[in-house]
């Protein structure tokens, strides 16, 4: 199995739909992240969980709702999205978030989201 | 606040040649880490190389090396002997030490390797 697995790989949804993105890591890491990658924009950090507690919430609209039931799983629940939310959503994990500056991230392949 | 600048939106290199991808950064933190990640068309970001701000020597990982110039706040990635599989987006990132270790990413550089 790959280290970080994201499903689905592609998602098309209407503005009134509710859907969820799933991320699972098999690396024994304690920190998990959601990033948004739009065309022509830098990678945007959305949420960070460390030991299942949310430690970062980067002014993300409430139509995005994260959930971290355990250290291996991370979800991003989506509802009433806008077309500008169309992007690649990347999940990542890292060892433990102990404040070390050498904390490298392990990424999944992402979910390409299109909002119609 | 931290900032990462990658000024080259796109780069081209001939197969087997070396290429340098530029990265400059700005931070007030005395201790930090610098990273390069590769993102092929499949989407997954792959860690390539790490340099600590207090490391005396430039980091190397196989064909990748990091040209770290602390006074100039630059951390350029050098890829030697380019291969067709090196064609991808490359992102420079920086993490401070201490409480907020979460990395800041640059906008990326698209590298195309020609046969």
Q: What is the pLDDT of residues A33-91, one digit of tens each?
A: 999 999 878 899 999 998 888 877 778 999 999 999 999 999 999 999 999 999 999 99
Residue A83 φ then ψ, to 5°: -55, -30
What are the Cα distances from residue B40, in Å, to B10, B82, B108?
14, 15, 12
Q: What is the pLDDT of residues B58-83, one digit of tens each?
A: 999 999 999 999 999 999 999 999 99
Q: Is the pLDDT of residue B15 over 70?
A: yes
Residue B58 CB neighbour total at 10 angstroms:
15
Cα A30 from Cα A54, distance rounded (Å): 12
Q: pLDDT value at position B98?
A: 64
Q: Is the dihedral of CA B30, B3, A77, B45 positive or negative?
A: negative
User: Nearest to residue B47, comparing CAs of B37, B39, B59?
Assistant: B37
The string over A8-25, giving b where at least 16 C-beta atoms fall within 10 Å of a residue's C-beta and e elsewhere, is eeebebeeeeebebbbbb
Do A101 and B42 make contact, defined as CB atoms within 8 angstroms?
no
Do A102 and B95 make contact, defined as CB atoms within 8 angstroms?
yes
Cα B41 from Cα A109, distance rounded (Å): 10
Angle at B53 between CA B52 and CA B55, to 5 degrees: 65
Helix (H) or strand (E) run with residue A76 in it: strand A73-79
User: Nearest to residue A80, comparing CAs of A17, A24, A26?
Assistant: A17
Looking at per-residue confidence, does A54 or B94 come out higher? B94
Residue contacts between A and B (CB atoms, under 8 Å): 61
Contact, B37 vs B90, CB < 8 A?
A: yes
**Shortest Cα distance, chain B CAs vs residue A48, angstroms:** 9
**Shortest Cα distance, chain A CAs vs residue B32, angstroms:** 5
User: Nearest to residue B23, comparing CAs of B112, B88, B104, B108?
Assistant: B108
- Name chain B contacts of A103, Cβ cutoff 8 Å: 33, 95, 101, 103
Q: What is the pLDDT of residues B19-58, one digit of tens each?
A: 999 999 999 888 899 999 999 998 899 999 999 999 989 9
Cα B113 from Cα A11, distance rounded (Å): 31
Smallest Cβ–Cβ distance between A42 and the set B35, B50, B107 belongs to B107
Confidence of residue A97 (pLDDT cuts 50, 70, 90): low
Which residue do the tokens 């420079």 mark? B92
Do B95 and A107 make contact, defined as CB atoms within 8 angstroms?
no
Average of pLDDT values for A18-40?
93
């Amino acid at each position: 199995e790959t280290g970080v697995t994201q499903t689905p790989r592609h998602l098309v949804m209407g503005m009134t739909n509710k859907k969820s993105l799933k991320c699972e890591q098999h690396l024994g890491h304690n920190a998990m992240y959601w990033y948004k990658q739009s065309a022509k924009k830098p990678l945007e950090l959305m949420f960070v969980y460390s030991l299942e507690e949310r430690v970062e919430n980067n002014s993300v609209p409430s139509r995005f709702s994260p959930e971290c039931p355990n250290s291996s799983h991370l979800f991003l629940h989506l509802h009433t999205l806008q077309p500008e939310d169309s992007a690649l959503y990347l999940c990542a994990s890292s060892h433990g978030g102990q404040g070390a500056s050498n904390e490298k991230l392990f990424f999944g392949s992402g979910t390409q989201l299109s909002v119609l | 606040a931290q900032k990462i600048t990658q000024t080259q939106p796109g780069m081209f290199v001939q197969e087997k040649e070396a290429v340098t991808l530029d990265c400059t950064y700005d931070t007030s933190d005395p201790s930090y880490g610098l990273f390069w990640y590769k993102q092929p068309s499949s989407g997954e970001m792959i860690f390539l190389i790490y340099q600590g701000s207090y490391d005396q020597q430039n980091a190397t990982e196989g064909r990748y090396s990091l040209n770290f110039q602390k006074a100039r706040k630059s951390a350029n990635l050098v890829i030697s002997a380019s291969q067709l599989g090196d064609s991808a987006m490359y992102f420079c990132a920086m993490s401070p030490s201490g409480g907020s270790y979460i990395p800041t990413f640059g906008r990326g550089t698209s590298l195309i390797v020609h046969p």
